[in-house]
Structure 1
Amino acid sequence: MPFAEHPLAESNPLTGRFRSFARVQTPTTGRTLARWAAALGLLALAAGFLPWTQNIRSTGTLTTLRPQDRPQTVPSTIAGRIDRWRVREGQHVRRGDTLVDLVEVKEKYFDPQLVQRTREQLEAKIASLSENKAKNAALTDQQVALRAGLQVSLSKARNYVEQSRLKVNSDEADLVAVRNDYTIAQRQQQRQEELYKQGLKSLTELEQRRLKFQEATAKLQSAENKLEASRQALRNAQLELASLSAEYQDKLAKSESDRRSVTTYQFDTEGQIAKMRNELANLSIRSGYYQITAPQDGYVVRALKEGLGEIVKEGEPIVTVMPDAPALAAELYVQPMDIPLLSVGRKVRLQFDGWPALVFSGWPGTSFGTFGGVVAVIDNIDSQGQYRVLVTPDPDQEPWPKPLRVGSGVYGWALLDDVPIWYELWRQVNGFPPDFVGAPAGKDGKEGKAGKKEKKAEASAEEEAK
């Protein structure tokens, strides 16, 4: 095209002077891009003022809120050998159903009639104790009889001593009379001797007087001997009285020793009976452990021992049982800096493994495939640098899926305050923690009016107290 005919030649006066201006063209693509960039910038700026729900994100697994709802291993209470399996893996069992049959492996329990024989030994020991008590009663009666006999014998011995004393007194009186007769006979003899010498008495009369004197002498000697014998009898009676108490005390001491020996044996027998009763009770209880039963309703998850004839130790786990219909809870782990922002009752959104979900953490209302939860438990101690939080289903939200299983993965985020998007971006860039909200969040994640009213009431009460 000739330069004079170019459209710019008329609009620009320089085109007439410079031919290069006629060859330069302004592209329209740059202007379009600039317009789009400006529009997007304005849109991003406007979006920065949209509300964004702050949240605390964490991961974890599904567990149960109640310890009895968690998978448990069923151990063997006693050592034994597996004789028979009553269940298979995946089978549903009721509480008390037999899982495994065991047989004894300890030789002291091999006897199948061990409980009956132990009971017979116990009955024999009880009969022995009964006879021992009868012997103890007989020894007690014997002691009573010995004490009564001692009193009677003492009375008899005292009477004999008194009788001997009276005999001595009587013999002493007789001796005095005999001595008087002896003295009179002696004097008469002397007078007869003098009269015979004077010739006044005959020899016959003298001999008669001498005979009477001899008789008086013999009577005197007899009386003295009799008195001495009575005194000796009195001494013997006194000695008998003194030895009688010692003799009966010896018998009583021997009887008391026998009675105490019987009492000792009785106490020892009672201790053996108590021990045998304990052993019998243990044997009876042990016989109930030959069948391992299900502790509660549930499913047999895994057999930890295989085959038949395998030996198990005391307390060794045999099978794992998962209770049916457990109260599920999400076990989440939260960083320590986020724990002050959580409280029991805080709303949480959860995403479970295996359930497709479209998640917008800042816009929980637009998320799809998530489920509601409520913080139920916050641990007071950390676990490897994080704190455990248990989340239960929110009764005001849709129920959790029924096919959920304990141990599956879960992703959750606790809903906090609503802030602009630009503020959230600024906070994330600077690494600041989310804003603290004192009261538990409501359905929309904001602090409810009731929480604000409670705060005002608490503040006014504090001011009045001051």
Structure 2
Amino acid sequence: MPSSTQVETELTPLPALQSPPKRRMVRYRPTEALGTRFPAMHLVRSSWFCRVIARTTAFLMVVFLLAAIYVPWQQTSRCEGVVTARNPNERRQVFLSTAKGIIAEQKPGLQEGSHVAAGETIMVLDTLAKDQIELIQSQQKQLEDKKSFTRSQLEFAVTQVENTEESGRQLIRATQAEIDAAHAKWESAEAEVEAQLARLAQAEFDVNAYEPLAGKTVSIQKYQQAINDEIVEAKKLTRAERAKDEAANFLEAKRRDLDSKRQEIDKKVSEARQKVDEYRNKLADIEKESQDISVKLGELERLRIVSPTAGRVQSILGQVGKAVDVKDMLFELIPDTDDLWVELSVRGMDQPLIQVGDKVRLQFEGWPAIQFVGWPSVAKGTFGGVVNAINPADDGTGNFKIFVGPDPDDPAKEKWPDRRYLRQGVRANAWVILDSVPLGFEIWRQLNGFPPTRASAGPDGGKSKDVKAPKLK
């Protein structure tokens, strides 16, 4: 077994072999001092490459932890959509044939992409039912004559109602005057009866007073005269009561006559009003029939296809001489407009997180862009937008439509492209800007599959944003 002196001699490099120290990936030979004091530890130590990897990994872990705590991450909701016009009247319009016939005329030089002005005639149709037009026009004239005759009958019936009511009122007034006179006569007869009763009572009192004194202090002639007066007053009372009864019967007869006349007048007025209602219903039926004929005639005569607004024509399917049927497609018109917005489709899970006024980053198809989802401020080639409206109901598939317009706060260099490049129908990717959270929280959320957070989400949370309603031209 070699001694320690021999080992040290073997491990110590020879003077002739000494050279300047070199940096190697792996040091197989220890230094003189380390080899002398700890020869075994020096032989099993880690290589320089492993130590560099370990230090780099530890540094990156520290940097990652600091970034997870302090680096912000902007949460977004990604969605897709297309560019469309803000005003529905300026969106794609499909023109259909309004009648069965052939295309008689067409704008000279009309082709795909041709520009047309507002009010310019694009096509003219020629109907195959010319005899039908004449027949409908004849029916329309007959209905007009019938309408005039029915209207005159209605006016006459209304006049009859007014005359019947007026004559009835006059008859009622005359009968009421007779009733008033009869009532006055009855009151006079009643007053006469009351007066006669008083006179009869006085005569009876005189007879009763004279009877015990007859032949004594009162002469027989005076007593007899009192009896005769009593008989006369009794007869007068009988005549007065008879006159009162006759006046009462006459008054009652007049009242019955008034009721009978009122019923007769009401019956005549009701019959006259029934005539008025009958003529009005008849006139309404004629009006409805006339409107239906006017609609049919308008459909047959609406053969000139005029552009409602300036725009460009595409998808021309109708050519001169081609037979078309009702509702056959002729062409499409894309109106000229600079007022565009993007119609986006948002998942139902993200819809509660989006509010009117939220900022949006847009990437239009055909425009190169570099989008950093968590840091939209450093994105290149994207454009700013703001949520202007959110549909209150889904589109039938669980997704919701939101409408994004240009952001007025964006700098001029980020304004949306000109309409020559940004046209209706261009697809767009969008990122709706939500809350800013730490990077570590976002990684934890993504790993657990949780939805984005929104501090102002909910019906009562957060402050409402005042966004001007879009103006329609």
Match of 1:346 among 352, 358, 364: 358
- How far apart, in 2, do the equivalents of 1:29 and 1:308 lie? 83
Q: How many residues align?
A: 305
Match of 1:357 among 369, 383, 388: 369
User: Unpaired segments of 5 or more residues in structure 2?
Assistant: 1-8, 15-29, 157-278, 467-473
Report the 3-state secondary structure (helix = DSSP H, G, I; strand = E; otherwise coil) of the residue aligned with 2:302: helix
Q: CA deviation at 1:79?
A: 1.8
- How far apart, in 1, do the equivalents of 2:56 and 2:373 lie? 29
1:77 aligned residue = 98
AA matched with 2:404: V
Alignment of 1:363-442 (within 5 A): 363-383=375-395, 384-397=397-410, 398-402=414-418, 403-438=421-456
Report the 3-state secondary structure (helix = DSSP H, G, I; strand = E; otherwise coil) of the residue aligned with 1:78: coil
AA matched with 2:452: P
1:388-440 C-alpha deviation (Å, 9 max, x unpaired): 11111111213211120111111111111111101111111111111113289
1:291 aligned residue = 304
Q: Is the CA contact (8 Å cut-off) linking 1:9 and 1:15 kept in structure 2?
A: no
In the alignment, structure 1 residue 47 sits paired with structure 2 residue 87: no
Aligned CA-pair RMSD:
4.2
AA matched with 1:405: R
In the alignment, structure 1 residue 4 sits paired with structure 2 residue 12: yes
In the alignment, structure 1 residue 92 sits paired with structure 2 residue 115: yes
Q: CA deviation at 1:314?
A: 2.1
Match of 2:345 among 323, 333, 353: 333
AA matched with 2:444: W
Report the 3-state secondary structure (helix = DSSP H, G, I; strand = E; otherwise coil) of the residue aligned with 1:321: strand
**Higher Cα Rg: structure 1 or 2?**
1
- How far apart, in 1, do the equivalents of 2:296 and 2:347 lie? 53
Q: CA deviation at 1:29?
A: 1.4
Report the 3-state secondary structure (helix = DSSP H, G, I; strand = E; otherwise coil) of the residue aligned with 1:337: coil
Match of 2:327 among 294, 302, 315: 315
1:30 aligned residue = 50
Q: CA deviation at 1:15?
A: 7.0
Report the 3-state secondary structure (helix = DSSP H, G, I; strand = E; otherwise coil) of the residue aligned with 2:394: strand
AA matched with 1:93: V
Task: Tell me the TM-score normalized by structure 2.
Answer: 0.55
- How far apart, in 2, do the equivalents of 1:452 and 1:89 lie? 47
- How far apart, in 1, do the equivalents of 2:402 and 2:457 lie? 18
CA gap of 1:337–1:42, structure 2 versus 1, over 3 A, is same
- How far apart, in 1, do the equivalents of 2:438 and 2:347 lie? 24
User: Unpaired segments of 5 or more residues in structure 1?
Assistant: 137-265, 441-446, 455-466
- How far apart, in 2, do the equivalents of 1:100 and 1:452 lie? 51
CA gap of 1:43–1:116, structure 2 versus 1, over 3 A, is closer
- How far apart, in 1, do the equivalents of 2:285 and 2:361 lie? 66
CA gap of 1:315–1:435, structure 2 versus 1, over 3 A, is same
2:86 aligned residue = 65
1:49-93 C-alpha deviation (Å, 9 max, x unpaired): 201111111112212222112101012222221122213221111
- Percent same amino acid at aligned positions? 35
